[in-house]
Structure 1
Amino acid sequence: MKSTIANGVWPTMVTPYTEDNKVDYEGVLKIIDWYDKQGVAGIFAVCQSSEMFFLSKEERLELAKFIVENTPKHMGVIASGHVADTACEQIEEAKEVIDLGIDAYVFISNKFAAPDEGEEVVKKNIDKIVNSIHNINFGIYECPYPYKRLITPETLKWCADTDRFLFLKDTCCNLEGLQAKVNATAGTNLKIYNANAATLLESLKMGCAGYSGIMTNFHAELYVWLCENYAKYPGKAEKLQAFLGAASVIECQCYPVNAKYHMQLEGLGINYHSRVKDKNELTQSRQIEVKQMQVMYHLVKEWLDI
């Protein structure tokens, strides 16, 4: 059982589909290879970007198994697939994914309690689940669907003190909130990975371990550069951050269709069909926006000499 996971960039992996709406495993291989060439630390598989709520249980397990078996050994794999509602179902769901050989199983924070339930319910359910699953460490993702539940610094410290939690994908999009969580987990094995591009540089300075967000599906290598070089080249880091923050507004456009379209532009040869969004929503003007962002991405790459 791993006691830590690597700092850096953990892409939230998208799921490509064939024309007849099945998981495109040739496309999955191409995306894994693309992430690898961009220098990421590992992959966050079967997450919301993977459309996990729109995959059957069999598809979630098959996809996770395929990713584990085909990801290079120097990269980590963490996975979720946490969609069940009751604690008992969640335990069985988690065990099946864990048995595939992942580095950590990632829980969705909003599955620990209903919107009107407090932190004591959250901790009670976490305690029940964690004590029912052995020989694996965990992560938490503050997923915005079906509702967004941010983990409080106090609850996060409680999780960290169990010595079973290694990863938090934070979606608070707030530097004060991030700082409170960094302070709460200081000296523990739990690392915080910011999902918000605009606040990334400042969050790295305050002690966050890296980035795990949507924009890894457009230009992960720029995030890798920032995570690895922000302290060494502060001037360049500030300018790169300005591009990353501005570019990240495309998250609101037509995701994950636009990310798959960008991958197609990058030569991956995948379909940009999605089960979450109608690909026809990616209108001509939106496609042009993605193409224009791609041009800027390559100009930034040249400037950074990567």
Structure 2
Amino acid sequence: MNFAPKGVLPAMITPLTKDGKVNEKALRKLIDFLLDGGVHGIFAIGTTGEFYCLSNDEYRMILEVTKDQVAGRVPVYAGANHITTRGSIELAQIAQEVGVDALSVLTPLFISPNQQQLIKHFTDVAASTDLPILLYDNRPKTHVALQPGSVVELAKIKNIIGIKDSSGDMTNTAENIRLTRDMDFDVMIGRDTLIHANLCYGGAGAVAACANVAPRICADIYDKYVAGDIKGSLEAQFRLAPLRIAFSLGTFPTVIKEALELLGIEAGPCFEPVGPMSSDEKEQLKKILKGMELL
């Protein structure tokens, strides 16, 4: 396929109203904030977007609003994540009807499929759509690992064009790059502290939750690297690190939403049972944002 993932893609939050409804107005404003920050695509309804809480109708609405607001300025990626193959195919078909540019498909969660079952899962989802697909390995969350050998097999499928590797294991990421380096396949990192490292190994970029809050810093890691300013890229990576490390201050993804609110960008609550941060936790987060010169 001609489509190739690259750059920094924000793993966009789903802004909510106080009563837990999708906040369309805030979503449109957030998209413009991210694009003004220099990101290279918009990644909707992934883990940071709380995909596990949304109905199919809400899923379609978010993608329609996102595609409309982006208006062709950058590619739009949509998560098609579900416990079952059938569920992922249903979401993939909705995303294709809306007209997004590419899909990301997570390994199933809660269950524990083996590698052959994972290969069949992704093969079947890929066969159900004409859209380019990024595999998505987030083993810290799902406890299901897509091994590099399986990635190689899946990379042979025409519309599987890359992987978002959120393993947090640079050896695993490096193997994904090494084993597919002669194939039409790209590796995006899903751990925000490793964006620079992924580029150094030959990766194509990142899907970054922190880019919701610090889009310019995240984009600088990529932009400076490809411009040959390796030192500047590394400095941007170091500047970003405290925000990613601060994720432990609250239940994911509340830290990202709280940080946006501190910046004056409406994000709203997370879906319950995830609750807000404490006053002390918010103060710690505020200090981090000030140290990053975002506040």
Q: Give the TM-score of the pair, scaled to structure 2.
A: 0.91
Give the C-alpha shift of residue 245 in structure 1.
Answer: 2.5
Indicate if the aligned counterparts of 1:256 and 1:277 stay in contact, CA closer than 8 A: no
Partner residue in 2 for 1:60: 59
Partner residue in 1 for 2:20: 21
Q: 1:146 to 1:122 in 2, by over 3 A?
A: same
Partner residue in 2 for 1:304: none
Give the C-alpha shift of residue 77 in structure 1.
Answer: 0.6
Q: In structure 2, what residue type is equivalent to 1:102?
A: V
Structure 1 counterpart SS, 2:25: helix
Give the C-alpha shift of residue 219 in structure 1.
Answer: 0.8
Give the C-alpha shift of residue 58 in structure 1.
Answer: 1.2
Asked whether 1:247 is paired with 2:246, we answer: no
Task: Tell me, in whole angstroms, the C-alpha distance in 1 between the residues paired with 2:239 and 2:34.
Answer: 20
Task: Tell me, in whole angstroms, the C-alpha distance in 2 between the residues paired with 1:114 and 1:274.
Answer: 25
Indicate if the aligned counterparts of 1:194 and 1:208 stay in contact, CA closer than 8 A: yes
Q: Work out the number of aligned pairs and report it.
A: 293
RMSD: 2.2
Give the C-alpha shift of residue 156 in structure 1.
Answer: 1.1
Task: Tell me, in whole angstroms, the C-alpha distance in 1 between the residues paired with 2:66 and 2:182.
Answer: 32
Asked whether 1:266 is paired with 2:263, we answer: yes
Partner residue in 2 for 1:226: 221
Q: In structure 2, what residue type is equivalent to 1:241?
A: Q
Residues 1-306 of structure 1 mapped to structure 2, 5 A cutoff: 3-85=2-84, 87-110=85-108, 114-115=111-112, 117-131=113-127, 133-144=128-139, 147-230=142-225, 232-254=228-250, 255-268=252-265, 270-276=266-272, 278-280=274-276, 282-298=277-293
Indicate if the aligned counterparts of 1:13 and 1:50 stay in contact, CA closer than 8 A: yes
Indicate if the aligned counterparts of 1:3 and 1:166 stay in contact, CA closer than 8 A: no
Alignment gaps of 5+ in structure 1: 302-306
Query: Deviating runs (4+, > 4 A) in structure 1?
Result: none
Task: Report the more deviating stretch, 285-294 or 254-263.
Answer: 254-263
Task: Tell me, in whole angstroms, the C-alpha distance in 1 between the residues paired with 2:124 and 2:213.
Answer: 38
Alignment gaps of 5+ in structure 2: none
Indicate if the aligned counterparts of 2:10 and 2:41 stay in contact, CA closer than 8 A: yes
- % of aligned pairs identical? 18
